[in-house]
């Protein structure tokens, strides 16, 4: 009972001091507070996440008690919270000369140095702080790890967290923090190991399962990622990030039928997400339900008219349905919104060609290749147009000039190899085909139909045989 009364009395004292400070501010008065009162007021505002009032209290406290180390230290901390590390460092250097063995000052100084980018100086202060009070090592380590987490110094955070785990093995949140630090440093094997250790103790942590899903996805292990996301959703069905990522994995695996209900569930929680709406439309397009595909593309446009992807989707639908003129309307809109997307330029070129506009098609293909010179589908379609329209002799000088500029790109080598074959320039054909096959053999099948039906040159025939083509 005595403890309860004491605790109640202490809380009352804090409340009374804070109320007195609030009245002073509202009435624009001047009041005196002793050091303990100011400590309580500043700490209260910091813990209440009210940095402005904490700062005001710290400034007044420092004016009334300029020689108080505890007040000056709190002022420095408040300045650090406001990002004013240089001012805080001046205070802390002065305090360090007064109390050189105060670990709180060392940690605060390390924080200031870390904020200023001097991580080695920060580490030196943190390590020194750990030598000063062996009875409070765990709390000091906790302060250090909190600082390094906030400043995103994950490489430096890891060894301190490991020490903290040794001291507090039953505080399982440290395992989570260590797993996250390894994740941020891209040491995924260790990250998975510590997430697993954490989940052995806290199996119902949806965030840990979610983070595991992200890592497995980065490691290109989609099945493990899906399992992790399913656990996360089983624990917390409203984890929309897990739903969205699960839908994307199913989409990338071409499991469009399975992805559809996942995107629908996501959109029930996030109805204004135009990206998910577009992905849902793409799923319906892939499964042949063009009515619903068009419906959701249009809904995505209503949500975000300046988002290029649904316009692009409508353009593809129209082109696939044999309506190139309608397709051009949508694709021109898409390319205006995203003129750095080579796929849009490519499909726009195909729509122009389907409309009988060869020159416009070639211009679009050129734009696509400016953005992505390794886009083999564009090179092969460019080759087909040149071949079908009888432009080989006219196009060859431009392609040779482009080759000198961009170098040994598989697409242009296949085109030059094929066209020199058609013209009977066997040595040049052999050279370009050799370069193309050595750099990207599998791409040959994209270009096969622009080569002559029969290759008569023995050297070139042997080259194809060598590559099992």
Q: Say if residue 393 is exposed, middle or buried (CB neighbours under 10 Å; 0-12, 13-18, 19+).
A: exposed
pLDDT class for 2, splitting at 50, 70, 90? very low
CB 429 within 8 A of CB 457: yes
Measured in residues, the chain has a length of: 469
Phi/psi of residue 316, each to 5°?
Answer: -65, -45
Q: Say if residue 431 is exposed, middle or buried (CB neighbours under 10 Å; 0-12, 13-18, 19+).
A: middle
Q: Which helix (H) or strand (E) segment is 294 a member of?
A: helix 290-303
pLDDT at 11: 80
pLDDT digits (tens, 9 = 90+) for 229-265: 999 999 999 999 999 999 999 999 999 999 999 999 9
Helix intervals (H) in 290-440: 290-303, 308-320, 324-337, 342-354, 358-371, 376-388, 392-406, 410-423, 426-439
Least confidently predicted of 282-286, 304-308, 411-415, 456-460: 456-460
Task: In whole angstroms, give the CA distance from residue 312 to residue 254.
Answer: 19
Judge whether residue 8 has pLDDT over 80: no
List the end-to-end C-alpha distance of the chain, in Å, as a whole number.
Answer: 90
Task: In whole angstroms, give the CA distance from residue 202 to residue 155.
Answer: 25
Question: In the Cβ-directed half-sphere of 192, how many Cα atoms lie within 13 Å?
Answer: 14
pLDDT at 122: 97
Please give the C-alpha separations between residue 80 and each of 338, 353, 360, in angstroms, as whole numbers: 42, 62, 59
369: tokens are 């290749």
CA angle 38, 41, 44 (to 5 degrees): 145
Q: Say if residue 299 is exposed, middle or buried (CB neighbours under 10 Å; 0-12, 13-18, 19+).
A: middle
352: tokens are 């122009």
pLDDT digits (tens, 9 = 90+) for 278-294: 999 999 999 999 999 99
Question: In the Cβ-directed half-sphere of 4, how many Cα atoms lie within 13 Å?
Answer: 1
CB 375 within 8 A of CB 351: no
Greater pLDDT, 132 or 193? 193
pLDDT at 55: 92
Task: In whole angstroms, give the CA distance from residue 88 to residue 75.
Answer: 8
Look at residue 415 and give its three-state secondary structure: helix
pLDDT class for 10, splitting at 50, 70, 90? low
pLDDT class for 9, splitting at 50, 70, 90? low
Name the DSSP class of 89. Answer: H
CA angle 403, 404, 405 (to 5 degrees): 90
pLDDT digits (tens, 9 = 90+) for 66-87: 999 999 999 999 999 999 999 9
pLDDT digits (tens, 9 = 90+) for 86-142: 999 999 999 999 998 899 999 999 999 999 999 999 999 999 999 997 789 999 999
Q: Taking all residues of the chain, what is their mean pLDDT, rounded to a whole number?
A: 94
Judge whether residue 301 has pLDDT over 80: yes
Look at residue 442 and give its three-state secondary structure: helix
pLDDT class for 469, splitting at 50, 70, 90? confident
Nearest to 313 by CA among 255, 337, 217: 337
234: tokens are 């089983």
Greater pLDDT, 5 or 250? 250
Phi/psi of residue 340, each to 5°?
Answer: -105, 10
pLDDT at 124: 97
Nearest to 398 by CA among 381, 415, 378: 415
Judge whether residue 22 has pLDDT over 90: no
């Amino acid at each position: 009972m005595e403890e309860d009364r004491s605790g109640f009395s202490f809380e009352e004292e804090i409340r009374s001091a804070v109320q007195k400070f609030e009245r002073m501010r509202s009435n624009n008065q001047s009041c005196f507070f002793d050091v303990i009162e100011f400590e309580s007021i500043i700490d209260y505002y910091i813990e209440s996440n009210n940095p402005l009032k904490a700062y005001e209290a710290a400034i007044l406290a420092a004016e009334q008690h300029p020689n108080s180390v505890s007040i000056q230290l709190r002022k420095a901390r408040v300045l650090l919270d406001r990002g004013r590390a240089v001012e805080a460092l001046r205070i802390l250097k002065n305090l360090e000369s007064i109390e050189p063995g105060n670990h709180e000052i060392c940690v605060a100084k390390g924080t200031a140095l870390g904020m200023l980018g001097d991580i080695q100086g920060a580490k030196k202060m943190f390590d020194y702080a750990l030598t000063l009070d062996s009875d409070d090592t765990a709390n000091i380590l906790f302060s250090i790890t909190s600082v390094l987490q906030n400043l995103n110094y994950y490489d430096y955070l890891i060894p301190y967290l490991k020490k903290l785990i040794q001291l507090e093995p039953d505080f399982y949140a440290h395992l989570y923090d260590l797993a996250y630090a390894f994740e941020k440093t891209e040491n995924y094997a260790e990250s998975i190991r510590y997430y697993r250790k954490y989940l052995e103790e806290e199996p119902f942590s949806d965030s840990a399962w979610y983070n595991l899903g992200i890592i497995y996805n980065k490691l290109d292990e989609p099945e493990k990622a899906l399992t992790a996301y399913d656990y996360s959703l089983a624990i917390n069905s409203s984890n929309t990030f897990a739903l969205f990522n699960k839908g994307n994995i199913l989409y990338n695996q071409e499991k469009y039928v399975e992805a559809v209900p996942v995107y629908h569930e996501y959109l029930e929680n996030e109805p204004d997400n135009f990206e998910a709406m577009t992905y849902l439309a793409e799923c319906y397009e892939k499964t042949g339900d063009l009515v619903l595909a068009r419906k959701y593309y249009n809904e995505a446009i209503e949500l975000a008219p300046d988002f290029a992807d649904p316009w692009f989707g409508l353009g593809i639908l129209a082109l696939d349905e044999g309506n190139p003129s309608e397709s051009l309307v949508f694709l021109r809109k898409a390319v205006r919104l995203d003129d750095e997307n080579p796929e849009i330029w490519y499909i726009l070129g195909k729509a122009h060609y389907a409309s009988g506009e060869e020159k416009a098609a070639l211009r679009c293909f050129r734009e696509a290749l400016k953005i992505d010179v390794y886009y083999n589908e564009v090179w092969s379609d460019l080759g087909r147009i040149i071949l079908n329209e009888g432009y080989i002799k006219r196009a060859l000088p431009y392609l040779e000039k482009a080759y000198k500029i961009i170098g040994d790109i598989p697409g242009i080598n296949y085109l030059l190899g094929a066209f020199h074959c058609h013209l009977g320039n066997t040595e040049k054909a052999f050279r370009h085909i050799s370069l193309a096959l050595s750099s990207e053999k599998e791409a040959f099948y994209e270009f096969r139909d622009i080569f002559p039906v029969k290759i008569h040159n023995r050297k070139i025939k042997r080259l194809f045989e060598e590559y099992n083509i």
